[in-house]
Amino acid sequence: MKNPKFLRYLKLIGMSSDTLIGEVDKAQDHCQRICPGEFKDIFVDDYIGQDGRRVYESVTFFAHPYSISAELFTGEQKYGLGNITNRRFYLTFDSKDYDFEKATEKSRLSVEWLDVSTGEQVGYLKGTKENCDALMKILKEYFFRYL
């Protein structure tokens, strides 16, 4: 991982395997070739599986005003690029054991953004444990100002 800030974040959310970090690094390289601008932030969607283990699903990079996401570990190369400022949207929050200030081991947060005019889902991010705090930081930095 070339960006030390991104590596710190990945380790914070429990991603310690070189294989997992390598997948995110590869996704970053591909996304950088597609998306204009320098990536300032990163967010990895995760959830707790039925076996109680953390599952990492996709990664989103932010280069204001763009966000670009890539699916992880599927063997497929699927990407989504959007301009956050180009669309009128509203956010819906689904939280469990999260007070929107300090996450715990039981915290869960998912946020969906919907197009104001159509009600269609534009995007979706979800986090568990300490990743809930990271998700709130991303929302404050990239989304709340456009609501």
Q: What is the DSSP string of the chain?
A: ---HHHHHHHHHTT---HHHHHHHHHHHHHHHHHS-S---EEEEEEEE-TTS-EEEEEEEEEETTEEEEEE-SSSS--EEEEEGGGS-EEEEEEEES--SSS--TT-EEEEEEEETTT--EEEEEEEETTHHHHHHHHHHHHTGGG-
Domains (range + CATH), the chain:
4-146 (2.30.29.30)
Cβ 82 vs Cβ 37: under 8 Å: no
% the chain with pLDDT above 90: 67
Mean pLDDT lowest for which of 50-59, 72-81, 100-109, 115-124?
72-81
Convert the pLDDT of each residue in 82-113 to its tens digit: 888 877 788 999 999 999 999 999 999 999 98
State residue 147's pLDDT score: 75
Q: What is the reported pLDDT for 108?
A: 97
